[in-house]
Structure 1
C-alpha cells in the first residue's frame, strides 16, 4: 500500500520576482542573476516550443534576458506578474524570429 504524505506549513514559492526586477532596475547584478535563474528555464522552454531550433532558441532567450536587464524599470507590477511579463516578451521575440525567417524564405522563392 502506498502512503500519502502531506506537508503542513507554507509552501516555498521561490524568490520574490517583483523585488528582483525592482533591484535589477537599480543595476543590482546579483538580483539579475537570481532573476535569470528563476525565469530562464520556463522562458527557454516556451521559446523552444515556438522555434524548435535549440541554437536559435538560446539566442532569442539571451536577447530577452538582455532586454529584461535594460527594461526592468519599465515593469509595472499592477499590470501583471513578472513571469507573465517575461514570457510575453519571449513569445513575441520568438514569433518575430519565425516571421522573419518565413519572410526571408518567401523572398528566396520569388
Structure 2
C-alpha cells in the first residue's frame, strides 16, 4: 500500500467517493461545484424514482425529459477520477455520500 502524506509530511489517507444515496440526495449540486475532478453528474428522476438520464449543465428548463422530471440527484459518474480529497462530503447538507479509504480499496 502506498503511503500518503500531506505537504507538511503528516500521514494522510484519501477517502474516495464510491456512492451517493439517491433517496437522501436532494440534488443541490454543492458537491458537484466543489469537486476538482468532475467525479459526479446531476441526473433527473421521475415520480417512480427511475433515473431518466443526465441533466445538461446548460438546460435550465429540463425539456429533455418531456415533463417526467420530478427531482434531481447527484450520482458518481467517474469514480476513477476521485482523488479522495473529501471536499464533497464537507459541503453535503444531507450526508448522503459513502467514502472508502484508500487502504480498504487496495485490500
Whether the TM-score (by the shorter chain) exceeds 0.5 is no
State the TM-score bracket (shorter-chain normalisation): under 0.3
**Larger radius of gyration between Structure 1 and Structure 2:** 1
Q: TM-score, normalised by structure 2?
A: 0.24
Q: Which has the higher strand share?
A: 2
Q: Which has the higher helix share?
A: 1
Higher relative CO (Cα under 8 Å, sequence separation at least 6) belongs to 2
Q: TM-score, normalised by structure 1?
A: 0.23
